[in-house]
Amino acid sequence: MSSGIIPLPIHVEPETRTQAGPTFHLGDCRDILSDYPNDYFDLIITSPPYADARKNTYGGIHPDDYVTWFLARTAVFQRVLKPNGTFILNIKEQAKNGERHTYVLDLILALRTQGWLWTEEFIWHKKNCHPGKWPNRFRDAWERCLQFNLNRKFNMYQDAVRIPMGDWSKERLKKLGKNDVRRFTSQVESGFGKNIQNWVGRDLAYPSNVLHMATECGNKNHSATFPKGLPKWFIKLFTQEGDYVLDPFVGSGTSCHVAHELNRHSVGIDTVEDYIKQAQHVYD
Amino acid sequence: MSSGIIPLPIHVEPETRTQAGPTFHLGDCRDILSDYPNDYFDLIITSPPYADARKNTYGGIHPDDYVTWFLARTAVFQRVLKPNGTFILNIKEQAKNGERHTYVLDLILALRTQGWLWTEEFIWHKKNCHPGKWPNRFRDAWERCLQFNLNRKFNMYQDAVRIPMGDWSKERLKKLGKNDVRRFTSQVESGFGKNIQNWVGRDLAYPSNVLHMATECGNKNHSATFPKGLPKWFIKLFTQEGDYVLDPFVGSGTSCHVAHELNRHSVGIDTVEDYIKQAQHVYD
DNA sequence: AGCTCTTATGAATCATTGA
DNA sequence: GTCAATGATTCATAAGAGC
């Protein structure tokens, strides 16, 4: 797992670190992370505020300024991420004036210039996407989950996300009710079944780079959460128990909550006080 | 449908045009299309040769040269595509040396500079993608289907691609749930009311921008075939009967065969004689 | 156990208005 | 005229409850 003693962040009290829950910080991740040592995190996973022309809103960074704004933060991520760690970025460009924005494409290219390797692009297929109907466009049912690394060798625990498949599972399905079969099937397709543990050890297959997940936002106060299953999958794939996970735009805290459930240490940062209070409140 | 008389391409014999089948040309689409008039096609759909560092193979264009190579052709596409037409580009960057290539991102940006609007990015989810296992990567189960347009107003026939609704909806329409009624009646408050008028008598649903289609290994001679369902979907969505479809990198001819089945005129071009012979052979 | 019914819920998009 | 803010308009699915 971890190799040697990991120094504690300077400003974090020891009793905070020995608490059961994640560590939450209020502030800009650039500033907060300056107190963290090099090579500290095994995984950085985040769904940052998307570019938005509207001012005075959370995430109101103009598309034209977005790359510059973002790279100032990813420069710090490079320092605190372990050499064998992974950075997962969940993002999707909106349509504006009939066209898709290009700032995400610009961002990928800029991150490579900054030194990141663009290892993979996972697709999150949102099975229950936002309603709507337009003459020139169907509903947007997917988002990008971009994987970046610092080295070509990185930690990946593929066995942790295997899914049941094959003849054996068919036998098993015979014993289940019709409703259960339908739900199980969707679990198999998605790779995010709740009760995957029950099938561990028998005829497991590896998933692909398309993730089928319904959106389920447990928290109505924060509009921008991803469903628990999404960070869960990546945390299992790229970390082991006892590892360190960072979400620098943690919002309502989903990724840290999940990391905690999976026995990973985690740090969540956000500039909005309400989110941090609310995320922390679970552990008070 | 078509408005007025469409001039015939100069070098195409009249009997060719009155034949039942598509028109196939051997050669570089830049050259072949020079004989076609402006504003001729309603849809250009193609799966071009992907960038490949290997020389002397079909599609062996080096990634560094790909954008320049491609833009020389899309400049011609702009001329022969109708103002209200659509250009669908099926493409996916490979992984090389542990990273995804970026030439597709570069291409999207370059096409916008050339004057195309990047209207949408559809995801083709390949349900049965190639098996395989790598230590740092899962199976690649998706490809991009990039939609480009010349104008913000373009032809789109959404009803042509509606799909059957799930079973759950049939009974539901008989007796709408309490929640449906409540949200409908309080549309202004909730912002998510259902327009019940749109539901009554409907058993078809509109798709999203994620397409689920299995790959077919119909033709082993051509490596870059897409399954029939993919061009079929886009041809139905963006053209009507009697319209004109172009595939400038037609390969084994799939998109033209499908266009023909759907009573659209079609033109297929390829630089490889074997492909053209084979595509044409069906109609001899 | 299996079926039906009910409820919950989502980072949207575009036309219009106003600065 | 361009740009930014506001408002109106949109489905489809998963999962739970109840019989």
Which CATH number goes with the domain that contains B254? 3.40.50.150
Of the three residues A205, A228, A262, the one that is the final residue of a domain is A205
Same domain, A177 and A257: no
Q: Which pLDDT score, from 0 to 100, does residue B236 have?
A: 96
Neighbours of B280 (CB within 10 A): 18
Domains of chain A: total: 2
Range of the domain at B198: 165-205
Low-confidence ranges of chain A (pLDDT < 50): 1-19, 167-168, 170, 173, 185-201
Q: Which pLDDT score, from 0 to 100, does residue A54 have?
A: 64
Q: Is residue A65 part of a domain?
A: yes
Same domain, B94 and B178: no
Same domain, A186 and A213: no
Q: Is residue B277 part of a domain?
A: yes
List protein-proximal bases of chain D (any atom < 7 A from a CB).
Answer: 3-6, 8-15, 17
3-state secondary structure at position B112: helix
Spanning CA of A67 to C1' of D6, the rounded length in angstroms is: 27
Chain A residues with CB within 8 Å of chain B CB: 95, 97-100, 102, 105-106, 108-109, 112, 117-121, 123, 125, 129, 131, 133, 135-142, 152-154, 156, 158, 206-210
Q: Which pLDDT score, from 0 to 100, does residue A9 have?
A: 45
Q: Is residue B2 part of a domain?
A: no
Same domain, A36 and A73: yes
Task: Give the whole-angstrom CA distance, residue B210 versus residue B213.
Answer: 10
Q: Which pLDDT score, from 0 to 100, does residue B270 have?
A: 95
Neighbours of B186 (CB within 10 A): 12
Spanning CA of A241 to C1' of C8, the rounded length in angstroms is: 33
Q: In one letter, which amino acid is B281?
A: H
Same domain, A152 and A187: no
Q: Is residue A9 part of a domain?
A: no
Same domain, B173 and B132: no
Same domain, A183 and A256: no
pTM of the complete model beyond 0.75: yes
Same domain, B100 and B199: no
Q: Is residue A8 part of a domain?
A: no
Same domain, A134 and A269: yes
Query: Chain A contacts of B208, Cβ < 8 Å?
Result: 129, 138-142
Same domain, B125 and B216: yes
B98 vs A133: CB contact, 8 Å cut-off? no
Q: Is residue A140 part of a domain?
A: yes
Q: Is residue B1 part of a domain?
A: no
Q: Is residue B3 part of a domain?
A: no
Same domain, A197 and A217: no
Tens digit of each residue's pLDDT, chain B (284 residues): 333 444 444 454 444 444 479 999 999 999 999 999 999 999 999 999 888 766 655 667 889 999 999 999 999 999 999 999 999 999 999 999 999 999 999 999 999 999 999 999 999 998 877 777 899 999 999 999 999 999 999 999 999 998 877 554 444 544 555 655 555 554 444 445 566 666 665 678 889 999 988 887 544 545 556 789 999 999 999 999 999 999 999 999 999 999 999 999 999 999 999 999 999 998 88
Same domain, A66 and A120: yes
